Amino acid sequence: MYRNAKNVGYYMIGKGSLAQLGDLLAARRKAQAGPAVFFLDHYFEGRDLASRLPAESGDKFVYVDSSEEPTTEGVDAYAAQVKDFLKGAAPCAMLAFGGGCTMDTCKCVGNLLTNPGKAEDYQGWELVKNPAPYKIAVPTLSGTGSETSRTGIVCNEARNIKLGMNSDYTMFDQVLLDPDLTASVPRNQFFYTGIDTYMHCFESITGSYRNVVVDSLAEKAIDLCKQVFLSADMMSDENREKLMIASFMGGMAAGFVGVVHPLSAGLSMVLHMHHGVANCHALSVLEDIYPQEYKAFMTMMERQGIDLPKGICNGLTEAQFDALYAASIVHEKPLTNRLGPDFKKILTKENVTARFKRM
């Protein structure tokens, strides 16, 4: 099989590059009439970032609650809010400032502005039929790769599944990478989110659905992650820029993942755990499947002084363990990618439940 692969059209990177956003947005205002819609992580509400952005009086600010992973109902609500503001007009651009939650929300809302129905209608591959408005990503947290990936991840509570809108139309058109924006991120969060790049890249190159371009991007992103997380200080100026580049490359390399992400998805669905820390818990019980990566991960945590909380599944009911298993094992493509078509013979219900109980 062959696929005509698409990447982000333009990118800008460098310390202080946020100052160039005005020029980028001015070009969009000239090319397309209409207001700009700014999506900001709710962390920035009442802080100075909004005042530094090139907004005009007719623009819209949407503060995205990142305390929970994006949900289909939440995306529908944000889309309704933006549609009510636009009143049938098209925005000149949609801009996202935050981590994966904010960027994915912006991408998914963009799809719903030009396609009928609800978010749940577009969870899957190539279901989005109409191009979304022009979108600009300005990550303030590195690791998810949302700034360059073709998917917007959303939790569907009714179906107990975490699944993306996977489409070329979901991608951002412009990315601006300013490492100054990650300087104030708490250390634990910086690690938990940043390590996502390492994880989805090693899952990609240890799977069976591969190509030479994805392998090359993933291998370089892994190398950069090792430089960052095995250093004395992962949050030095140099390392924050390296991690931004690793995340950028990792998003382009994101194809099929492996066993980490399905178990992580189960934790997100049942325990409402954020993606990054859920990945860490997942890998902590997968030493038999990813022995080298597990060992490197443990060394990285120790080097950076990160403590992963234990006992997160203590006291869960059998029904909750059943839900964890169901929300994990449903991801057949990534599990097949790593373990082959007979993955259920390896990841039996007893096997997976025992792993969750060890967390």
Whether residue 1 is contained in a domain is answered as: no
The CB density around residue 345, as the number of other CB atoms within 10 Å, is: 10
Final residue of a structural domain among 136, 156, 182: 182
Whether residue 4 is contained in a domain is answered as: no
Same domain, 206 and 341: yes
What is the domain range of residue 94? 10-182
Identity of the amino acid at 261 = H
Count of structural domains, the chain: 2
Q: Are strands 124-125 and 60-64 parallel, antiparallel or unpaired?
A: unpaired
Residue 87 and residue 343: Cα distance in Å, rounded?
A: 49
Whether residue 5 is contained in a domain is answered as: no
Per-residue pLDDT of the chain (359 residues; tens, 9 = 90+): 667 888 898 999 999 999 999 999 999 999 999 999 999 999 999 999 999 999 999 999 999 999 999 999 999 999 999 999 999 999 999 999 999 999 999 999 999 999 999 999 999 999 999 999 999 999 999 999 999 999 999 999 999 999 999 999 999 999 999 999 999 999 999 999 999 999 999 999 998 887 888 899 999 999 999 999 999 999 999 999 999 999 999 999 876 899 999 999 999 999 999 999 999 999 999 999 999 999 999 999 999 999 999 999 999 999 999 999 999 999 999 999 999 999 999 999 999 999 999 99
Same domain, 276 and 341: yes
Q: Is 228 exposed, middle or buried (0-12, 13-18, 19+ CB in 10 A)?
A: buried
Same domain, 191 and 286: yes
Same domain, 37 and 152: yes
296: domain CATH number is 1.20.1090.10
Partnered with residue 98 across adjacent β-strands are 139
Same domain, 171 and 111: yes
Tokens of 109: 């809302």
Same domain, 243 and 311: yes
Same domain, 154 and 303: no
Same domain, 120 and 51: yes
Final residue of a structural domain among 167, 182, 197: 182
The structure's pTM equals 0.94
Final residue of a structural domain among 182, 214, 229: 182
Whether residue 2 is contained in a domain is answered as: no
Q: How many CA atoms lie within 13 A of 87 on its CB side?
A: 5
DSSP letter assigned to residue 69: -
Q: Is 297 helix (H, G, I), strand (E, B) or coil?
A: helix
Tokens of 3: 């696929």
Same domain, 35 and 155: yes
78: domain CATH number is 3.40.50.1970
